[in-house]
Every structure is written in structure tokens, then in C-alpha cells.
Amino acid sequence: MKFSVFQVSRRGGRARNEDRMGYCYTRESGLFVLADGMGGHPEGDVAAQLAVQTVSSLHQQQATPRLAQAGDFLVHALLAAHRRILRYGNERGLADMPRTTLVAAVLQGDCASWVHCGDSRLYLVRGGALLARTRDHSYLEQMTPEATNSARVSRNMLFTCLGSPVPPVYHMAGPVPLQRGDKLLLCSDGLWSSVSDESIVEQLSSMPVAQAVPELVEQALRAAGDSSDNVTALALEWQTADAFASTRGQGAPATASGAFAATVQNLDAAASAADLDDAAIERSIAEINAAIRESAKRKF
């Protein structure tokens, strides 16, 4: 399994960054996950962190070195993340539960499968065209064009998420066979709300992910200005050529059978997820991207 990957998260104009993301992999299975903690509810950053950690931890347990069924795993992991957030809130006696969106993808066996809940998106781009995109679980996206024109509905109004009192609504897709050069993007609404789908496809199609991702994030920040939401993006290119910049040894030859590696931050058992402040997140992202840039100088 070989891919190039790059990730960026920026706070934008918000007081804190409530987005979380990461990826982990064995020689035969890769997991990519992103969560956007929801404003208007307490500790959205904690909900997002718990969701990303839960899915990553389950992948580490079950990908030995590959998952038995990627689709079944994704559904199970999403529901496990939902339950963990509820347990966190109940243990602390919170009147209102922390909540988050989630989008996660598994790549193995030359195929991609993904699941999502909320309005964090996945884009699959092939040959300069948009092959697939998740549909937001928002009232606006689910409405017909006629109803949209006659109603005042905010794009931020979601009808489902993780951490809500009712079981989450989610959608699964795949397995979708991948071709060499296919690109997948996971992003929070801070990106896609300020950058059009057409621009996202164009950027991903015209440059390596290590260039396209930071450029898309900067475009979103510029377009939104001081009112920008948190902007987070994680993208990968599948089966890139040796001459293309690969990152952090993501090629299968660099990972021993059964070995596991991850960029997801795991908390000490005694620590609270809230202990990961914005400075710590920014440092972690900077360290990851510095390593990516360094390893991009090498070829397999």
C-alpha cells in the first residue's frame, strides 16, 4: 500500500480550534479520519478528539494487518465514538453533551470505503473530475431546490451528529476501486463553505497534495476573513509514482507486516482530552508537516 498524504488545521477567526484529524496505517490498511466539534454545545474539541481517538484505537486493534470488513469496521467505530462521547458527558454530569461531526475512510485492497455523520466532507477526485462527494446531514442539503428557495435555512443546521441524545444518522459508501493517482480529501466545513467544489477539484487535480492542501486552506481563510471557521483538511494520493514526493514512509515497503503507525494523538489515561490546547495541536501539526517535507525529499 502506497500513498502520499498531507494535513493542515488552522484556527481561523475562532477563539479555539475544535477540529481534529489524523491517519494511521499498517502495511495493508490505512485509516483517515476528521472530526469537527460543534459550536453551541460544550467541549466540542473534546468530542472531536474522543471521536478521532476512538476510531483510531479500534483500527489499531483490528487491522492485523488488515480489517476483515472495512465497511463493518467503519460503522462499528462511528457508533463506538458516539457512545464514548455520551459516556464522557454522563461521567461529568453535563447538562448538554459535547457533539461533533465525523468523516472516516479506510483504504485497503486497492479500494476505499468511508462513513460520515454531519457536514464534514469527503471528496474523491479522479482525472480532473469529481468522482464522489459525501452529502451533508444538514437540513439545507437535504431539501429540494424549490424548498431551498422558499425557506430560510442555515447551512450550519445539522439534523444529526455524534454525541446527540438520539442515535446518529450516518451514511456508508464503498468499497470503491481506486486507480493510480486518485485523490481523497477529508475536510471540515470551514474549508468547503468558503471554497467551491470546482476549486477543490481543480486544485487537487493540478498539484501534489502537499501543495494543494495548504493552498486550499489559505484560500478558505482569505475568503472567510476575520469570521473564518476552523479550517482543517487531510488529503492523500493513491499509488503515487516513485518520483512523486511520498510522505513519512507511507509506502508499503517501509512498514513491516503487522506494524502500526499513527499521527493521531493519544491521551494519557489520567489526562482529559481538554488538556490538548490549541498550542499543543499547532505544535503537533507543525512537527508532522515538517517531517513530511523532509521525507518528501527522498524517493522510494
Q: What is the pLDDT of residues 243-254, one digit of tens each?
A: 334 443 333 333
Longest dimension (CA), the chain: 57
Spatial CB neighbours of 72, under 8 Å, sequence gap ≥ 6? none
Angle between helices 209-224 and 197-206 (to 10 degrees): 150
pTM score of the predicted model: 0.81
**In this predicted structure, which of 48-52, 107-111, 241-245, 256-260 has the lowest mean pLDDT?**
241-245
* Predicted pLDDT at 83: 95
Q: Which domains, and CATH codes, for the chain? A: 3-118+133-182+238-295 (3.60.40.10)
Average pLDDT over residues 15-31: 92
DSSP letter at 272?
A: -
* Predicted pLDDT at 265: 58
DSSP letter at 36?
A: E
Q: What is the pLDDT of residues 179-196, one digit of tens each?
A: 999 999 999 999 999 999
pLDDT of residue 33 exceeding 90, the answer is yes
pLDDT of residue 153 exceeding 50, the answer is no
Number of residues written out for the chain: 300
CB-based burial label for 90 (10 Å; 0-12, 13-18, 19+): exposed
CB-based burial label for 88 (10 Å; 0-12, 13-18, 19+): buried
